[in-house]
Structure formats: structure tokens, C-alpha cells
């Protein structure tokens, strides 16, 4: 219900207390008083040789931060917009600290306005910047900033299985160690109180230097699950020395050498990850950056010039920038593949393999690799085999559907009745955001036009809209200015939009995993949500999985739906398999496939991880049985 969004300083204090920031001994010391202390007392060289970064050892080397207009020129949509125009174009040089003529162009000012640096083997933490804090974290009343970091009591029920050799103990509170104190503060500002199950495991796993393969859905806190340990280690270890690049001596343009690379399938998703990264990198030396297609490449080039330590990217644009010689992966120490199954579905495998295996990225033993995927079919297993080493497999139970905080309704609606039924639904509710999923881009346009013409403030998001339109749509939806958004699959996964009260599957997907992801846009952060699906004869292919899912989630199942499920199971027309990927063997099934196929440590085969959720597991469910197949003329119930 109430998701515990905090208000006021008292509450914030509580949170700090629960974060262990007060420590066991002394009272809370405000960060701006602590930073000098820390810098002074921090051990001079914790790091292996080669981690000291010449770029940051002289203050102006990262030029541009003070010289730009500061943070204000980051658009409200969250991505960087071009800073004030420079007359000298690209040729900003270290000594031109005052380039742009901004009054805050000196290094001291730079470090006190929310940005830290790394100097002489020590982390020099930046001072607080209230304006930036408000932008990053909002305040307790800003609904568009509310986040699922809060109120995770519900999440304690979510089963987690960690398998592999030497699984470290999970971490039950955010604490230092293992987390860097600066990160802990930022977690506090973000009003995260308790690690989610995936974070409880991923933090110690990554902190121990291990690779990770995690089957977890969005809403499980997996973004924090990889950002926290990566940023924490980065804060502590400092930057890496960029390799000597022969080009740079005669090339005026600088090349970016990120130490962490995060790949994700959609532009909005990388943007969202980037925004999270900005929150947690606050006041540290780490400069998060983001690149994706559809946006002006030149402004992206300028922003990565200003710092690109943790890069979130869609594969296509990243390859482009590598080809242009503007990004090198030689310094990558952490690689994250988010929504890996989705990326393969979208045909990114060649580009991903190119990025990971055919460019200058360090090999699997020289980096840490984390893969996140909702499912673990054969092709993801292959990817894991190639990209990971001796990884720990983490399986996190389904969040949205099994935790029962989403009420799922299935309505029988013929196609030609959908519009009017939708109007009825929208008219009968008055608060919260409604997200409507359709199958085609054309339908998304048509439906949002229709809603607008019926005086509903609606917008739409799909791949044929310009990136600017997409971002505007998302923004106005988040803010509640257009509380209805019609979306295609582009918005099905990963997007974290607080306060989505209702998800309408105007068109049902044919893949149950897509359905799970879609309804997972509501009921987040322990809130309750409602989902309504319009079902008709065109959706027979999902009915069996759907009924099974509803049953698992203790939802009411309309009797007619049971009938359809029964008919489609035994009456022929059996829907086989799940689309393109996977192929048989161990992996085929969506939910059943999210398990470690490796044996304990060695390399025999056979599933090992205990299962949860009660669904059929590998080899069960679909495999045998009714292979009768699609022909079998069995007539359906209608």
C-alpha cells in the first residue's frame, strides 16, 4: 500500500541509521565535513599498480566540468544536452581550465559542487550540491522520483537460489564494509533502506571478484544489484591508467576509456540505468555516461569527453563510437549485460560478441562479467559460457506475479469491442497512471489518437517515434501530465515508472514472459497494482501459460478461461514452444528455464538448483506430452 516514501529530515535520519552510516561509534557527520577527513586518512595506495590515473592527478585534466554550464544543462529528460558552445570546438586542452569562461572554472569549485576526483591514489570526495541532489534524488514528495528502493518487506518472500562454487554469504544490510562509505551515503540519499534479494547476493558476489549470471526480472532491484558493487569497488580502487594510445599523440580528440560498461537493449533502459548511476556516483570520481541511437551523436561525443568512467550503452551506438575511435574498451574491468535474453531476441548477438570478443576489451579473466536475464535458455547459456568464468548462478523468483500484489483480471473482449471497453475502464478510475500495451506501432498511434479525441490525456511510445518524442512521452507520463500511455514492446521491460496503477493488455502478447514483464510495470516497490487483459480467440497461444501463471499467483481465474485452456491443451491446436530462441534441450521454457544447468562445481549435466514456484521445471511442462501439434483439427470451444 503506502510504500513508505519518506518525508522530512527525521525520516531521513532513520534511514541513515538503518544504513549503518552512523556507525557503531560516532554521531552522523555530514558528508561535507567528512570528505577532507577521508581524503587525509585514506590509505595512500590500496591499488595495484596501474590504477593511478594520470588524468585525474592534475585537477584540470578532466576539463570541462567546471567550464560547462554545470549540471543545469542536463535536460529534464535526463540525458545530457550540449553544453554552452565552445569556440574552440573539440580542442579543449588540459591547461584551458577556464574554457567557456565560467566563473566556477577552477578546480576547487569543481570539487565542491557534487563531483569528486581521484588524486594521488586517494579518493577526493566532492562537496554536496543541494541543487544537484534535488535533481538526482528529488524530494520525498516528488512522485516522479519515488523509487522502488523502499519498503521491501514484500521482497523477503521472494525465493533466491545461489549456486556455484563458493557462494559468499548474502548481505542483509547496506553496510561498510563491504560497501564504500560514499556509496552508502548515496544509497541513503536515494532512500533505499534494505537490499533487495538480488542485491543481498550480488553485492558480496561481486565484491568477492566473482562473475555472476542472474535470472531476475526488473523490479527486483537488479540495477542496484550491479551498480552498487561496481561503483563501490570503483570508489575504493580508483580509476585505471589508460593505456598508451599512439593515436592520441597526434589526434586532438580524446578517446574515452570506461572502466565499467553496461549494455542494455533499449534506449530508454540505458537512459534509466544512467540516471541510477548518476545518483550513486554522486560526489565520487566516477563520471557516468550514456550513449544510444536516435540522439545527436555530437552531443554524446562531447559529454563522453567530459568523463566516461561508467558507460551505459545500446550496442549499435557503442559499436559506432568504437569504429570512430572515440571509445576504447581496453580499460573495462566490469562488464554488465542487462536483459541479455531480450538483447538476443532483438538480434544483438553479433554486435554483442563483437563488442566483447573482437574489440579491445580485456579477456574474461581480466574483467568481471555480470549477466542478467529473465530466462536462461540455451543461447544465453552459450553466451554465459563464453563471457563468464566460474560464475555464480543466481535465480530470483518472479516479483510481480508471484508476490500477489498485482490483481490480474482477464476479460473476454472481441477486437471490435476493445475501444469501448477501454473507455469504460478509463472512465471508472481516476487516480494513478495507466499503461496500455498494444502489439503494433500503428495501433499505438491509433489508440492514443482515439483516447485524445475522447478527452483522455494520453501519449504513446513506440519505435517509430523519434527519440525526442519517446523521451517526452515517458517524461509526461512519469509526471502524470499524460496519465495514460499507449506502448508497444519497447516499454515492456525494464522501465521503472513509479505509480503505475493499472496495466492494460489491450493486445495480449504471445509470450508469457512478455506478459509477466508488462504487468510488472505496476505493483512495484511493494505497492499494489491492477492489470487487465483483453482476451479473445486470437490469444489462444498464451492461454495455457496464462492460466498456470494466474494459478501460481493465486488469482481468480474466469471459468471460461479454464475452458479455453483445457480445449487448447487437449483439443489440438497445441501451441508449441516459445518462439525463436532456445531450441530444445535444457532451455526451452521461459520460467522453468531460469536455473543453473551446471552441476555443483564440475561439468556433468543435469539441473541442480532447487526450484521454486511450483511450476514445471526443465524437462517437465511442455516437453513431451501433447506433441500432437498444431494441425489436429480439434475445434475449440467457440
Partner DNA sequence: AAAAAAT
- Residues lying near DNA in the complex (CB under 7 A) are found at 265-268, 292-295, 297, 314-320, 323, 345-348, 439-442, 462-464, 488-490, 510, 579-580
CA–CA separation, 389 and 520 (whole Å): 31
Our CB check for DNA shows the closer of 13 and 349 to be 349
Distance in Å, CB of 263 to DNA, minimum: 10
> Which alpha helices (DSSP H) does 282-415 contain, by range?
297-305, 315-323, 340-345, 349-353, 378-387
Counting Cβ atoms within 10 Å, is residue 619 exposed (0-12), middle (13-18) or buried (19+)?
A: middle
Distance in Å, CB of 264 to DNA, minimum: 9
Tell me the CA distances in angstroms from 507 to 207, 443, 517, 532, one per residue in order. 43, 10, 14, 10
Which of these, 262, 277, 274, 315, lies nearest to 293 by C-alpha position?
A: 315
Our CB check for DNA shows the closer of 290 and 310 to be 290
CA–CA separation, 146 and 58 (whole Å): 38
Q: Which long-range contacts (CB under 8 A, 24 or more apart) does 567-571 make?
A: 567/634, 567/636, 567/637, 568/540, 568/543, 568/544, 568/636, 569/544, 569/626, 570/626, 570/634, 571/632, 571/634, 571/635, 571/636, 571/637
Our CB check for DNA shows the closer of 142 and 296 to be 296
Peptide bond into 177 cis (omega under 30): yes
First-to-last C-alpha distance (Å) of the chain: 40
Distance in Å, CB of 301 to DNA, minimum: 12
Our CB check for DNA shows the closer of 396 and 490 to be 490
CA–CA separation, 259 and 336 (whole Å): 11
CA–CA separation, 166 and 600 (whole Å): 10
Distance in Å, CB of 429 to DNA, minimum: 26
Distance in Å, CB of 425 to DNA, minimum: 23
Distance in Å, CB of 447 to DNA, minimum: 12
Where would I find the beta strands (DSSP E) of 121-159?
A: 122-124
Distance in Å, CB of 297 to DNA, minimum: 6
Our CB check for DNA shows the closer of 4 and 316 to be 316
Our CB check for DNA shows the closer of 225 and 265 to be 265
Helices (H) and strands (E) in the chain, counts: 21, 16
Distance in Å, CB of 504 to DNA, minimum: 17
Distance in Å, CB of 84 to DNA, minimum: 24
Peptide bond into 54 cis (omega under 30): no
Query: How big is the CA angle at 164 (ends 161 and 169), to the nearest 5 degrees?
Result: 60
Backbone angles phi, psi at 285, to 5 degrees: -80, -15
Our CB check for DNA shows the closer of 199 and 541 to be 541
Distance in Å, CB of 214 to DNA, minimum: 22
CA–CA separation, 617 and 67 (whole Å): 57
Backbone angles phi, psi at 43, to 5 degrees: -55, 140
Distance in Å, CB of 40 to DNA, minimum: 43
Our CB check for DNA shows the closer of 409 and 581 to be 581
Distance in Å, CB of 316 to DNA, minimum: 2
Consecutive H or E run containing 234:
helix 222-237
Our CB check for DNA shows the closer of 11 and 445 to be 445
Distance in Å, CB of 340 to DNA, minimum: 14
Q: How many CB atoms lie within 10 A of CB 601?
A: 12
Our CB check for DNA shows the closer of 297 and 364 to be 297
Our CB check for DNA shows the closer of 119 and 267 to be 267
Where would I find the beta strands (DSSP E) of 48-192?
A: 117-119, 122-124, 160-163
Our CB check for DNA shows the closer of 385 and 442 to be 442
Distance in Å, CB of 470 to DNA, minimum: 8
CA–CA separation, 400 and 148 (whole Å): 13
Distance in Å, CB of 510 to DNA, minimum: 5
State the DSSP code for 396.
E
Q: HEC string of 310-341?
A: EEEECHHHHHHHHHCCCECCCCCCEEEECCHH
CA–CA separation, 536 and 206 (whole Å): 46
Our CB check for DNA shows the closer of 350 and 584 to be 350
CA–CA separation, 198 and 426 (whole Å): 35
CA–CA separation, 486 and 470 (whole Å): 11
Our CB check for DNA shows the closer of 13 and 439 to be 439
CB 203 within 8 A of CB 380: no
Our CB check for DNA shows the closer of 121 and 294 to be 294
Amino acid at each position: 500500500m503506502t510504500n513508505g516514501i519518506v518525508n522530512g529530515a527525521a525520516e531521513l535520519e532513520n534511514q541513515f541509521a538503518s544504513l549503518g552510516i552512523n556507525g557503531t561509534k560516532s554521531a552522523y557527520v555530514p558528508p561535507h565535513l567528512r570528505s577532507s577527513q577521508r581524503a587525509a586518512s585514506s590509505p595512500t595506495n590500496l591499488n595495484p599498480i596501474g590504477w593511478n590515473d594520470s588524468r585525474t592527478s592534475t585537477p584540470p585534466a578532466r576539463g570541462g566540468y567546471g567550464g560547462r554550464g554545470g549540471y543545469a544543462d542536463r535536460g529534464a529528460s535526463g540525458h545530457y544536452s550540449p553544453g554552452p558552445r565552445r569556440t574552440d570546438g573539440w580542442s579543449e586542452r588540459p591547461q584551458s581550465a577556464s574554457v567557456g569562461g565560467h566563473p566556477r572554472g577552477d578546480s576547487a569549485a569543481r570539487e565542491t559542487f557534487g563531483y569528486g576526483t581521484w588524486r594521488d591514489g586517494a579518493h577526493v570526495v566532492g562537496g554536496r550540491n543541494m541543487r544537484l541532489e534535488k535533481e538526482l534524488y528529488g524530494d520525498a514528495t516528488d512522485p516522479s522520483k519515488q523509487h522502488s528502493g523502499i519498503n521491501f518487506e514484500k521482497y523477503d518472500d521472494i525465493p533466491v537460489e545461489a549456486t556455484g562454487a563458493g557462494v559468499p554469504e548474502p548481505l542483509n544490510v547496506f553496510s561498510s564494509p563491504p560497501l564504500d562509505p560514499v556509496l552508502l551515503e548515496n544509497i541513503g540519499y536515494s532512500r533505499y533502506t534494505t537490499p533487495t534479494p538480488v542485491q543481498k547476493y550480488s553485492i558480496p558476489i561481486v565484491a568477492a571478484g566473482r562473475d555472476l549470471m542472474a535470472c531476475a526480472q526488473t523490479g527486483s532491484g537488479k540495477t542496484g544489484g550491479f551498480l552498487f558493487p561496481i561503483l563501490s569497488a570503483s570508489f575504493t580502487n580508483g580509476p585505471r591508467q589508460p593505456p598508451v594510445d599512439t593515436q592520441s599523440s597526434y589526434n586532438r580528440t580524446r578517446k574515452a576509456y570506461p572502466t565499467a560498461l553496461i549494455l542494455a537493449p533499449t534506449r530508454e533502459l540505458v537512459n534509466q540505468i544512467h540516471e541510477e548511476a548518476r545518483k550513486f556516483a554522486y560526489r565520487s570520481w566516477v563520471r557516468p555516461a550514456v550513449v544510444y541511437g536516435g540522439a545527436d551523436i555530437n552531443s554524446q561525443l562531447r559529454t563522453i569527453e567530459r568523463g566516461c568512467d561508467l558507460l551505459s550503452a545500446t550496442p549499435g551506438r557503442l559499436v559506432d563510437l568504437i569504429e570512430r575511435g572515440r571509445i576504447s574498451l581496453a580499460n573495462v574491468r566490469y562488464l554488465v549485460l542487462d536483459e541479455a535474453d531480450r538483447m538476443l531476441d532483438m538480434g544483438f548477438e553479433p554486435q554483442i560478441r563483437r563488442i566483447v570478443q573482437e574489440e579491445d576489451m580485456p579477456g574474461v579473466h581480466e574483467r568481471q562479467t555480470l549477466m542478467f536475464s529473465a530466462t536462461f535458455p540455451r543461447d544465453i547459456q552459450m553466451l554465459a559460457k563464453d563471457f563468464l568464468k566460474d560464475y555464480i548462478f543466481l535465480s530470483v523468483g518472479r516479483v510481480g506475479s508471484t508476490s500477489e500484489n498485482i490483481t490480474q483480471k482477464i476479460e473476454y473482449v472481441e477486437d471490435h469491442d476493445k475501444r469501448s471497453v477501454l473507455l469504460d475502464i478509463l472512465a471508472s478510475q481516476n487516480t494513478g497512471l495507466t499503461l496500455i500495451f498494444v502489439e503494433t506501432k500503428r495501433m499505438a498511434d491509433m489508440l492514443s489518437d482515439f483516447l485524445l479525441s475522447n478527452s483522455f490525456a494520453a501519449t504513446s511510445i513506440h519505435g517509430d517515434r523519434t527519440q525526442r518524442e519517446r523521451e517526452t512521452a515517458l517524461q509526461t507520463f512519469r509526471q502524470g501530465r499524460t496519465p495514460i500511455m499507449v506502448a508497444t514492446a519497447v516499454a515492456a521491460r525494464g522501465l521503472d515508472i513509479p505509480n503505475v496503477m493499472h496495466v492494460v493488455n489491450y493486445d495480449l502478447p504471445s509470450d508469457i514472459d512478455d506478459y509477466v514483464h508488462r504487468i510488472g510495470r505496476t505493483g512495484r516497490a511493494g505497492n499494489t497494482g491492477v492489470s487487465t487483459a483483453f482476451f479473445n480467440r486470437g490469444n489462444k497461444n498464451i492461454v495455457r501459460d496464462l492460466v498456470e501463471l494466474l494459478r501460481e499467483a493465486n488469482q481468480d481465474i474466469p471459468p471460461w478461461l479454464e475452458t479455453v485452456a483445457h480445449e487448447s491443451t487437449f483439443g489440438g491446436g497445441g501451441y508449441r514452444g516459445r518462439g525463436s530462441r532456445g531450441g530444445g534441450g535444457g532451455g526451452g521454457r521461459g520460467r522453468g528455464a531460469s536455473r543453473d544447468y551446471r552441476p555443483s562445481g564440475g561439468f556433468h549435466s543435469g539441473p541442480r538448483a532447487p526450484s521454486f514456484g511450483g511450476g514445471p521445471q526443465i524437462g517437465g511442462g511442455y516437453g513431451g506430452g501433447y506433441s500432437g501439434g498444431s494441425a489436429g483439427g480439434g475445434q475449440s470451444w467457440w
